[in-house]
A and B are shown apart, each in its own frame.
Chain A
């Protein structure tokens, strides 16, 4: 048997490590900024690019795709070649992957703060970036699969299965959720509307957690915990069951994000049942990780790598217990839309993803720099800052979330809402927001200690860019009659990949197809009509400003909600909503029935200064709504794109779109003037400003169900066209 010599590329590992640290700190800092805005809404002034609604998606994208994303690649590029006993298939592809991924992150930084967003959570990036993500992801996958094909170790270790599942599933999720029709270079509309869009988005959103923040990190756990503790995984057999059951069950759980919404009941029930089942594989994996350390707990006391990893796996256990519990409908009724969920995700993100990421950094850095960790003491300090930071973050959020939710639902003995003013429930938990910001700050300080420590470690050694290794060549495939079937499968990466794809597709297809197929799943409401051109512009502004980050548009069928907001939301009301804007968090009140609730002048004053209409409000002011012009020029293109995705505007409507906008805007402005609102604090109110379009949209919200008004009445288009809306598109 000939022994072959090959090299591990440690440079690409180091690069991904540096990117993990830099983007991590940036992502955490943006998180701290948005957290401070809860305490001081006017923190950083009223700069549009730094407003909460625009920065929140930047924070989530930065920590998920930039911090956790680079950490995943850091782990994969270190462990995969070592598990395959082979170099990465192509160093060039590794490089393209690295720089391509960083470019995508930079393009997120260059678009999200400027209001260029699709509004779909964790999929906010616009269509050109979506295409770039697809390309770079395929490059990563090809490089990984080819490395596996060229391996010198016959058996494909369990960590690699999780990497394969990550690659194929994220590819499927990203593709399906990004079907959109471009209207302009940086604006698109999804082909799905309303309920279907919500279902696809949360199928994606939930599985982004599953296959971006869980499966790759489980692969990392299966490699690095045995490495760091120098003992094999507790039970390899358990890991096989863990893998197949986790990937199969996870994909079904998305609808638990949509309980009590207008999503069909059967889809909600499926989501609940599969979420509850998820606890079994999740805890199987968690126990497998922890029990690996049986008899080695003395090492955990001394080794910061193991400390981070043990807390990570423990947090994973907590979060995966909490997840199924939160999926039970009546628990969800209390926790959903509240800060509890923010606590839940940060428990996972800070400790599970953060813990494994930092654990890996402390493990790999000394090894590729051929040196010792600069300071174990400092790493331990980092560990305590990270752990305490997470605790100070998570517990106030749990406390605040439940407090606020119970206040929303509280009735007096006479049967009235105890806290009819939403604001009262917000003010109550502001101290919790302050504690959360303190916890987040601790976590960041810890991370800075970590980076300093790793920097000093690297300085004390020198990078072993190309690490030599030797292994016997893999014998050509010989059919071994006695080999059992799963062992055979584990030697065949392509078959394995195909089976993984089948496992994850089943859940998605079964959930989505009936909704697409059976019209009765989305009962149409005759009086529901498409938006006018001005309302489309208002809706696009709502999306650009990220209003959906704090306001839901989905009233659940609870008395506490119908009392507060009005009639509960029906599936048929959203058939023209490309994208859906149901939201997932209520920092402010639901807006689905806001139309007609207040006069136009209230919205005008509220946008300029929320405190003028709602004293004590923590909503940021949007003064630029009164000074920036709306975008009329691209409206015909946008109407055309909306027609393509299925909104039944007449084929000639794009011609009249701009006229309609001007006429409707003029009508609203005239109304404001008649009521004495010519100016606000010296700023003249004119019809081409963004605020007018936003008012048009907000006043339209949730009003169609009454069937009392025709939105196109008296607009130029309805005078020129016999039918603005065609019956069958």
Chain B
């Protein structure tokens, strides 16, 4: 049954290519975005596990 559904879809052979292009663009945008935001932007997020016991003492030299 599902084979019939798939067969009846027009242009289904393009779907894999579209998905590939979409995902590679996603990664490209992601990397550009991360480079642009810079390291310090993520400092608070990175310290969440340490923050939970309030023993985190960020030292610049360790970063």
Interface on A for B, CB 8 Å cutoff?
79, 82-83, 85, 153, 155, 157-159, 222-223, 226-227, 230-233, 235-237, 240-241, 244-245, 248, 294-295, 469, 484-486, 490, 503, 506, 510, 513, 516-517
Contacts and interface: CB of A to CB of B under 8 A. Distances in A.
Interface in B38-56: 39, 41-50, 52, 55-56
Contact of A241 (B30, B43, B47): B30
Contact of A510 (B3, B16, B42, B46): B16
A372 to B, nearest CB: 17
Contacts of B2: 516
A506 B17 CA distance: 11
A516 to B, nearest CB: 6
Contacts of B41: 484
Interface residue SS majority, chain B:
helix
A226 B50 contact: yes
A226 B47 CA distance: 9
30 contacts: A79-B49, A82-B52, A83-B49, A155-B45, A155-B48, A157-B49, A222-B49, A226-B46, A226-B49, A230-B55, A232-B47, A232-B56, A236-B42, A236-B43, A237-B34, A237-B39, A237-B42, A241-B30, A241-B34, A244-B26, A244-B27, A248-B27, A294-B62, A295-B61, A469-B52, A484-B41, A516-B6, A517-B3, A517-B6, A517-B7
B49 A82 contact: yes
Contacts of B15: 510
Nearest to B7: A517
A295 B61 CA distance: 9
B31 A232 contact: no
B25 to A, nearest CB: 12
Given A245-B27, A510-B16, A516-B3, A240 B50 contact: no
Interface in B11-29: 12, 15-16, 19, 23, 26-27
Nearest to B41: A484
Contact of A237 (B26, B37, B44, B56): B37
A233 B39 CA distance: 12
Contact of B19 (A223, A232, A510): A510
A241 B48 CA distance: 19
A194 B25 CA distance: 36
A506 B23 contact: yes
Contacts of A237: 34-35, 37, 39, 42
B49 A227 contact: yes
Given A240-B30, A510-B19, A223 B49 contact: yes
B29 to A, nearest CB: 9
Given A226-B49, A232-B50, A295-B62, A155 B30 contact: no
Given A157-B49, A237-B42, A244 B30 contact: yes
Nearest to B44: A155
A223 B49 CA distance: 6
Given A237-B37, A516-B6, A157 B45 contact: yes
A490 B37 CA distance: 15
Given A295-B62, A506-B19, A153 B27 contact: no
Contacts of B56: 230, 232
A85 B54 CA distance: 12
A230 B54 CA distance: 11
A36 B12 CA distance: 52
A192 to B, nearest CB: 12
B46 A236 contact: yes
Question: Most A CB atoms within 10 A — which of B7, B16, B26, B56?
Answer: B16
Contacts of A295: 61-62
Nearest to B34: A237
A573 to B, nearest CB: 21
A503 B23 CA distance: 8
Given A232-B43, A236-B43, A516-B3, 6 more contacts: A82-B52, A241-B30, A244-B27, A295-B62, A486-B30, A510-B16
Contacts of A155: 44-45, 48
A324 to B, nearest CB: 18
Contact of B49 (A159, A235, A245): A159
A486 B6 CA distance: 34
A226 B50 CA distance: 7
Question: Most B CB atoms within 10 A — which of A158, A237, A469, A510?
Answer: A237
Nearest to A160: B48
B15 to A, nearest CB: 8
Contacts of A230: 50, 55-56
Nearest 9 Cβ contacts at the A-B interface: A236-B42, A232-B46, A236-B46, A237-B34, A510-B16, A157-B48, A82-B52, A506-B19, A226-B49
Nearest to A231: B62
